[in-house]
């Protein structure tokens, strides 16, 4: 019994696999685009750093500074 | 549950077979009404966010369609209208429909939450649950009011669109829901009267078969009367305006006239002209919903120029 590298099955499933590839690439592009828009909408991109749940002294407003927000 | 043994092992499903599981024609209605709900809302979104939100609502709708086809494969195989669907025709397996439905449900809810907000995502999750579990699995085969319950599932998209923009529910979004909800029964039952259906063979209790056409005609009239104040009432909310009011008045008079004609006939008269009045009422119902939502869209589109709204 010989092993055929290219089975007829591969050819039949090619359309489906290419379709799925296209969808996945489109999904990645869409998530990237959405991320760019979301970050830009923050106005001040440094706010983006606040999402990692770690206290960052650089982001804590100085005492007495106008608009200072209480942080723990 | 689906017990279909005729899945063809020789046939490899093509990409389009999976697309067909998502009920693309139903998706187009979901996209349109969700888009109107989003545009009518007083909050503007970035176009990319709006596009993503509509896309994930549509995928959620498609996922519930796939779950519906998984569960209903046994009755789809019996009825003429549905026997060419992917599962009964043997192009895909019931398991593939279940897997696709569950995976896309999770993906669409998660992505809508990230792209828009979790309130809208919760509504989408509830809509999928409502259509797949409450309607398809529980009530479709149990009550002749199944159309009314299924109509509720189809009425959620504009509410989700509104929630995407505003993050909440309001009188306007509830009225948009009510418009589709009250419209579905007269729309579908008008069709059920003139299409010789085989729901009975499949064990689905349709009002025309359980209670007869006379009762169905009365129900069409009843829902039409309840629909009118909802449709015209929207004109006096923040999303309405003179364009919508004029459109709604004309459409409601037109649809009312068509429904009264259906209501006053008996079966002998209907068969004599081959259900002309029922076919006309069904056609009017299609214009009715499309033009109401188009008018809402027109009001929203003209608002920046000071022309939309009151």
pLDDT one-digit tens code per residue, B97-123? 999 999 999 999 999 999 999 999 999
Within 8 A by CB and 6+ apart from B283, the residues are none
Please check whether residues B21 and B156 belong to one and the same domain: yes
Please check whether residues B88 and B126 belong to one and the same domain: yes
Indicate whether B201 belongs to any domain: no
Model-level ipTM above the cut of 0.90: no
Tokens of B281: 């009422």
Interface of B with A (CB under 8 A): 12-15, 46, 48-49, 52, 55, 114-115
Q: What is the pLDDT of residue B198?
A: 82
* Burial bucket for residue B104 (CB in 10 Å: 0-12, 13-18, 19+): buried
Q: What is the pLDDT of residue A52?
A: 63
What is the chain A residue with the closest CA to B11? A12
DSSP string, B32-57: HHHHHHHHHSSS---HHHHHHHHHHH
Tokens of B122: 């919760």
Does residue B304 register a pLDDT over 50?
A: yes
> Helix (H, G, I), strand (E, B), or coil: what is residue B11?
coil
Does residue A57 register a pLDDT over 90?
A: no
Q: What is the pLDDT of residue A61?
A: 73
Please state the rounded mean pLDDT for residues A66-70.
51
Please check whether residues B187 and B152 belong to one and the same domain: no
Please check whether residues B165 and B21 belong to one and the same domain: yes
Contact B13 A34 (CB under 8 A): no
Gap between the Cα atoms of B239 and B236, Å rounded: 8
Whether B220 contacts B278, CB under 8 Å: no
Please check whether residues B175 and B68 belong to one and the same domain: no
B71: domain CATH number is 1.10.357.140
Please check whether residues B130 and B28 belong to one and the same domain: yes
Does residue A71 register a pLDDT over 60?
A: no
pTM: 0.89
* Contact residues, chain B, for A41 at CB < 8 Å: 46
CB-facing half-sphere around the CA of B191: CA atoms within 13 A: 14
Q: What is the pLDDT of residue A42?
A: 83
Who has greater pLDDT, A58 or B18? B18
Please check whether residues B295 and B151 belong to one and the same domain: no
Task: Identify the CA nearest to B193 among candidates B185, B204, B182, B203.
Answer: B185
Does residue A43 register a pLDDT over 60?
A: yes
Indicate whether B186 belongs to any domain: yes
Please check whether residues B61 and B103 belong to one and the same domain: yes
Q: What is the pLDDT of residue A72?
A: 44
Q: What is the pLDDT of residue B6?
A: 56
Sorted by where each begins, the domain ranges of chain A are 8-59
Domains held by chain B: number: 2
Whether B124 contacts B188, CB under 8 Å: no
Minimal Cβ distance to A15: which of B14, B48, B114: B14
Within 8 A by CB and 6+ apart from B173, the residues are B37, B41, B158, B159, B162, B163, B166
3-state helix, strand, coil in chain A (%, to 5): 60, 0, 40
Minimal Cβ distance to A30: which of B15, B46, B52: B52
* Contact residues, chain B, for A12 at CB < 8 Å: 12
Indicate whether B9 belongs to any domain: no
Q: What is the pLDDT of residue B9?
A: 62
Please state the rounded mean pLDDT for residues B133-154.
95
Q: What is the pLDDT of residue A11?
A: 75
Which residue range(s) make up the domain with B261? 170-195+210-303+306-310
Task: Identify the CA nearest to B22 among candidates B52, B51, B65.
Answer: B65
Q: What is the mean pLDDT of chain B?
A: 94
Does residue B245 register a pLDDT over 70?
A: yes
Minimal Cβ distance to B49: which of A15, A19, A37: A37
Does residue B43 register a pLDDT over 60?
A: yes
Indicate whether B3 belongs to any domain: no
Please check whether residues B152 and B216 belong to one and the same domain: no
Please state the rounded mean pLDDT for residues B268-292.
96
**Residue tagged 């195989």 (tokens):** B77
Whether B36 contacts B157, CB under 8 Å: no
Does residue A65 register a pLDDT over 90?
A: no
Gap between the Cα atoms of B13 and B290, Å rounded: 34
Q: What is the pLDDT of residue B227?
A: 98
Tokens of B176: 């948009």
Please state the rounded mean pLDDT for residues B80-85.
92
Q: What percent of chain B has pLDDT over 90?
A: 89
Task: Identify the CA nearest to B50 among candidates B174, B152, B160.
Answer: B160
Rounded to a whole number of angstroms, the distance from the CA of A43 to the nearest CA of chain B is 14
Please check whether residues B266 and B163 belong to one and the same domain: no
Task: Identify the CA nearest to A34 among candidates B64, B110, B40.
Answer: B110
Q: What is the pLDDT of residue B199?
A: 86
Q: What is the pLDDT of residue B2?
A: 47
Rounded to a whole number of angstroms, the distance from the CA of B248 to the nearest CA of chain A is 37
Q: At what angle do helices B47-71 and B118-129 cross, to 10 degrees?
A: 20
Gap between the Cα atoms of B1 and B139, Å rounded: 14
Please check whether residues B162 and B214 belong to one and the same domain: no
Please check whether residues B177 and B296 belong to one and the same domain: yes
Indicate whether B102 belongs to any domain: yes
């Amino acid at each position: 019994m010989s092993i055929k590298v290219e089975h007829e099955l591969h050819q039949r499933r090619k359309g489906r696999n290419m379709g799925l590839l296209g969808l996945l690439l489109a999904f990645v592009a869409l998530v990237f685009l959405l991320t760019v828009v979301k970050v830009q909408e923050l106005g001040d991109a440094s706010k983006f750093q606040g999402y990692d749940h770690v206290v960052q002294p650089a982001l804590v407003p100085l005492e007495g500074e106008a608009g200072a927000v209480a942080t723990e | 549950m689906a017990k279909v043994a005729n899945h063809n092992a020789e046939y490899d499903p093509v990409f389009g077979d999976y697309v067909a599981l998502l009920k693309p024609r139903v998706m187009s209605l979901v996209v349109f009404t969700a888009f109107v709900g989003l545009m009518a809302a007083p909050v503007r979104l970035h176009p990319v966010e709006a596009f993503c939100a509509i896309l994930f609502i549509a995928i959620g709708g498609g996922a519930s369609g796939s779950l519906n086809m998984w569960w209903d494969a046994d009755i789809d195989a019996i009825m003429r209208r549905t026997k060419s669907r992917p599962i009964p025709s043997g192009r895909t397996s019931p398991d593939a429909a279940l897997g696709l439905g569950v995976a896309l449900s999770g993906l669409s809810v998660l992505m809508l939450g990230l792209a828009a907000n979790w309130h809208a995502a919760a509504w989408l999750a509830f809509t999928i649950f409502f259509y797949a579990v409450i309607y398809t699995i529980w009530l479709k085969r149990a009550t002749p009011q199944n159309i009314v319950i299924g109509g509720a599932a189809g009425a959620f998209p504009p509410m989700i669109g509104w929630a995407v923009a505003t993050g909440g529910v309001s009188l306007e979004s509830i009225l948009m829901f009510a418009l589709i909800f009250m419209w579905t029964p007269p729309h579908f039952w008008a069709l059920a009267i003139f299409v010789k259906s085989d729901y009975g063979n499949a064990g689905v209790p349709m009002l025309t078969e359980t209670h007869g056409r006379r009762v169905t005609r009365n129900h069409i009239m009843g829902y039409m009367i309840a629909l009118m104040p909802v449709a015209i009432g929207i004109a006096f909310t923040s999303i309405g305006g003179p364009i919508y009011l004029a459109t709604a008045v004309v459409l409601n008079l037109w649809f009312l006239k068509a429904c009264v004609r259906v209501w006053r006939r008996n079966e002998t008269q209907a068969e004599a002209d081959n259900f002309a009045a029922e076919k006309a009422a069904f056609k009017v119902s299609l214009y009715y919903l499309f033009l109401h939502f188009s008018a809402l869209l027109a009001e929203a589109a003209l608002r920046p120029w000071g022309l939309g709204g009151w």
